[in-house]
Each structure stands twice: as structure tokens, then as C-alpha cells.
Structure 1
Amino acid sequence: MKKYRMILEKTDTGFSAYSPDFPVFTTGDNMNEVLENSLEAFQLHFEDSQTSINAGQIKLELDFQQFFQYYSVINSRVLAEKIGMNPTLLSQYVSGKKKPSEAQCQRIVSGINQIGRELSELKLTLN
């Protein structure tokens, strides 16, 4: 199944997204709205070619700076310690002073995904 990339950017009023491969762009108040609007924009772009696209084919991409700006609740120093990375190096990736290699990128994303899995499985009790 073909994937359609949309580069996501945080704006003062929400998000904007554009395709680097097709003349498709959209905006939204949140990521879910951008995904829905992206699907509609791609469907409009391909309506004459009989290409069928579903939301699972759209891949939203967000760079590290934008990710940590939007998810400011994630502390880059603590994340670095959790994944065994130098906190200063991760801070440089987050600030845009350095660009991570593909391997480093995967390491960071794996750490973020692990935190997400842990949080989704967490049960809190009220005492």
C-alpha cells in the first residue's frame, strides 16, 4: 500500500501540512484534523485518476524541534537518560543545532514509543 507523506508544522493557530511529492497542502487546529483534511486534499487531487486513498496511507512527519515544542511535557534530558543518550546531544537535536543520523533518530523514536506504550498500559488508583 502506497504511503503519502505530509510534512507537519506547528503554527500559531494550529498546524499546517504539505506534501513534498504532490501539490497538496492543508491546515487544522490539531493533528487529527490535519490528518482528516490531508485525506480530503489527496482525494481531491486524485479524483480524476481513480486513485483511492485512505487515512492509513497518509504519513504525517514532524521534525524533532516541532515535536518537542508541541509535546513540551516530554523532557528531553529525562528522555536522553532513559534511552542512554547524552542529554546535551539530544538537546542539540531538539534545538536544531545538530541533525540526528537515521540510527539516532530511530533510537529516539523507539524511546518515545516505549514511553507511549508504558503510559497507555498504566493504571492509576485513587486512594
Structure 2
Amino acid sequence: MTKKKKIIMTVEKTDTGFSAFSNEYPIFTTGQSIPELINNTYEATGFYFEEEKVKVEPNDIKFEIDFQQFFKYYKVINAKFLAEKIGMNTTLLSQYVSGTKKPSAKQTEKILNGIHQIGQELSGINLLQTA
């Protein structure tokens, strides 16, 4: 079995949930939630490469979503909070989110690092139950 290079899946919000597709391969799928979409993508990708005897691991698949759709789905992430967290002008980040401006690769990386940092912080928190 050979290994495949990174497969980029573009994620889009739909009326019924989400869709993901590859521009390089005829792979596409849908899901009602992001976790379901991710699982369906692993299944669809494995099915596509099955005949070629190519092993595709979850690390081989990269999901991409544009700013507007990301912030539309993950409403819990406040753009003002994120901008302050990463040291970015709030108005500029809002323009990226609304689609009136496109971020550079460097700005995109800065935003993504901030999102990952928030995710790590949240995953390390346990809530106390009060009686």
C-alpha cells in the first residue's frame, strides 16, 4: 500500500448542514454537522482510493473553510475577543469575517493560531459542579 499526499477538502455550509469536496479528486460528501461531515469525508476518501490500494489516514486530509462560513458556524467565537487575543485590529478582523477584505497568508496564519490557542485553552478547562 502506498501513501497519498495531503488531500484538501473545501467545507461549505448548506441549507441542510455541510458539504466537503476536493478540487484534485472526485471526492465529495455531506453531513448535518461538522463531526458527521469529517467522518463521512474519511469514509468517502477511503472508498475512492480503495481500488488503487492507497492508504489514506486522517492526517492526510486537510479541511479548509472560509472566514465567513467559519464564524457563521462557530458563533461562540467572538471576532472582537479573537482580535484582542491575537493583537489584531477589531475592524480589520471584522472585514475579513464579512468578506469585504481578504487576509494575507500571514494574517490567516495569525488568526488560525489564535483560534487553535483558544481551542487548547478551552479543552484544558473542567467545569465544577455546584451542589
- Give the TM-score taking structure 1 as reference length: 0.92
The answer for the alignment partner of 2:29 in structure 1 is 26
The 3-state SS of whatever aligns with 1:78 is: helix
Deviates more, 1:27-36 or 1:94-103: 27-36
Match for residue 124 of structure 1 among 116, 124, 127: 127
Deviates more, 1:1-10 or 1:85-94: 1-10
Match for residue 55 of structure 2 among 48, 52, 57: 52
Q: Return 5+ residue gaps in structure 1 as ranges.
A: none
Partner Cα separation in structure 2 for residue 37 and residue 120 of structure 1: 24
Partner Cα separation in structure 1 for residue 90 and residue 84 of structure 2: 7
Is 1:73–2:83 an aligned residue pair? no
Partner Cα separation in structure 2 for residue 121 and residue 36 of structure 1: 24
Aligned-pair distance for 1:82?
A: 1.4
Q: How many residues are matched? A: 127
The 3-state SS of whatever aligns with 1:6 is: strand
Aligned-pair distance for 1:97?
A: 0.7
CA offsets per residue over residues 64-99 of structure 1, 9 Å max, x none? 111100001111012111111110000000011111
Is 1:37–2:40 an aligned residue pair? yes
The answer for the alignment partner of 1:15 in structure 2 is 18
Aligned-pair distance for 1:101?
A: 0.5
Letter in 1 for 2:85: K
The 3-state SS of whatever aligns with 1:26 is: strand
Deviates more, 1:56-65 or 1:19-28: 56-65
Match for residue 95 of structure 1 among 85, 95, 98: 98
Partner Cα separation in structure 2 for residue 39 and residue 120 of structure 1: 24
Letter in 2 for 1:55: P
The answer for the alignment partner of 2:110 in structure 1 is 107
Aligned-pair distance for 1:44?
A: 2.4
Say what the alpha-carbon RMSD is for the aligned residues.
1.4
- Give the TM-score taking structure 2 as reference length: 0.89
Partner Cα separation in structure 2 for residue 42 and residue 125 of structure 1: 41
